[in-house]
């Protein structure tokens, strides 16, 4: 069978156990497909594959069982369907994001918009190590951002104002899952050391006594899943989407220039000393606030 080497080398084309066949992974920032795109994918899976479509862990779809000599035609058809061939090698792979503030009531940021911007600038960039990027709109971290080489989490710092009298109703206490608010002497008291900055208490107070301050993007690096799972470390925070995008670009640029293949990014960051790495990134993004308190590491529930 004649293979098209060019298309076969694309990261989203994965040779199957039976090497006559390939699985073709799609590019889908934030895992969003329109109904029309899905109809197109279904038709292409019937025409070029075995009629199945597989949902992947990186929020995308793949078409299994495609013959090598059909790859080029399928890639062109996918392009026309606006769901081009994706990426899986040592590249910036599909960007994961939760619905963020477009749909989720807990979100502090627009995860989908940031995912689209990162995808436009960086998707498919060849790298010395695979770069997985995931975004979560709040510390619930539904997309497990801290298990990716770059993780982004939307947070907000709650501040208990004293402008008006707290009724001691306990609504904020009820909604805080971290046990960070207590009622003492009839009024609420917030313990910042327990707070993960989810912002839920802000929404819970009908009297606006808990104000959102410093809505921000926490950026983590060096996480990964797989055979040696590792939780990413908190690097810094920034306040705008543009700054978050800029930080991601700077990290990717650093990895592109300074990292080498065959070794976990987290170990490479250890080698150069994590603090030094943070210093280098912060120097390039003056608005960034380094996260030096390890106690503020994102908590993870898996």
Q: What would the x/- binding string for ligand SF4 be over residues 157 to 176, using CB under 6 A?
A: -x-------xxxxxxx--xx
**CB of 210 closer than 8 Å to CB of 159:** yes
Q: What would the x/- binding string for ligand SF4 be over residues 202 to 221, using CB under 6 A?
A: --xx-x-xx-----------
Q: Which residues contact 110 (CB under 8 A, 6 or more apart)?
A: 100, 101, 102, 137, 241
Instruction: Using CB under 6 A, pick the residue from 33, 48, 106, 217 that binds ligand SF4.
Output: 106
Euclidean distance between CA atoms 159 and 150, whole angstroms: 28
Nearer to ligand SF4, 70 or 148 (CB): 148
Count CA within 13 A, CB hemisphere, residue 223. 25
Euclidean distance between CA atoms 25 and 14, whole angstroms: 8
66 touching ligand SF4, by CB under 6 A: no
CB of 274 to ligand SF4, least distance (A): 25
Instruction: Using CB under 6 A, pick the residue from 31, 40, 124, 199 that binds ligand SF4.
Output: 199
Instruction: Using CB under 6 A, pick the residue from 178, 239, 241, 253 that binds ligand SF4.
Output: 178
HEC readout, 26-88? ECCHHHCCCHHHHHHHHHHHHHHCCCCCEECCCCCEEEEEEEHHHHHHHHHHHHHCCCCECCC
Nearer to ligand SF4, 118 or 200 (CB): 200
Judged by the rule CB under 6 A, the positions of this chain that interact with ligand SF4 are: 98-100, 104, 106-107, 136-138, 140-142, 158, 166-172, 175-176, 178, 180-181, 188, 190, 195-201, 204-205, 207, 209-210
């Amino acid at each position: 069978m004649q293979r098209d080497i060019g298309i076969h080398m694309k990261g989203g084309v994965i040779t199957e156990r039976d090497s006559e066949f390939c699985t073709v992974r799609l590019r889908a920032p934030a895992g969003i497909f329109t109904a029309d795109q899905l109809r197109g994918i279904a038709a292409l899976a019937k025409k070029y594959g075995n009629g199945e479509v597989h949902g992947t862990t990186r929020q995308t779809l793949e078409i299994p069982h495609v013959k090598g000599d059909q790859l080029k035609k399928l890639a062109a058809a996918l392009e026309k369907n606006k769901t081009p061939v994706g990426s899986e090698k040592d590249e910036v792979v599909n960007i994961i994001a939760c619905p963020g503030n477009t749909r989720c009531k807990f979100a502090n940021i627009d995860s989908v918009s940031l995912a689209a911007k990162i995808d436009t600038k960086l998707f498919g960039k060849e790298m010395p190590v695979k770069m997985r990027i995931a975004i979560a709109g709040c510390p619930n971290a539904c997309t497990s951002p801290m298990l990716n080489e770059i993780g982004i989490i939307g947070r907000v710092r709650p501040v208990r104002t004293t402008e008006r009298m707290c009724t001691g109703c306990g609504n904020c206490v009820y909604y805080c899952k971290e046990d960070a608010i207590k009622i003492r002497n009839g009024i609420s008291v917030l313990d910042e050391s327990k707070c993960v900055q989810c912002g839920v208490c802000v929404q819970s107070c009908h009297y606006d006594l808990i104000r959102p301050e410093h809505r921000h993007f926490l950026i983590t690096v060096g996480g990964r899943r797989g055979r040696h799972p590792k939780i990413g470390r908190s690097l810094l925070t920034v306040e705008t989407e543009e700054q978050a995008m800029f930080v991601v670009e700077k990290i990717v640029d650093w990895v592109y220039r300074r990292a080498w293949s065959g070794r976990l990014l987290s170990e490479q960051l250890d080698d150069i000393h994590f603090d030094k790495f943070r210093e280098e990134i912060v120097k390039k993004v003056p608005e960034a606030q380094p996260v030096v308190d390890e106690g503020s590491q994102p908590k993870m529930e898996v």
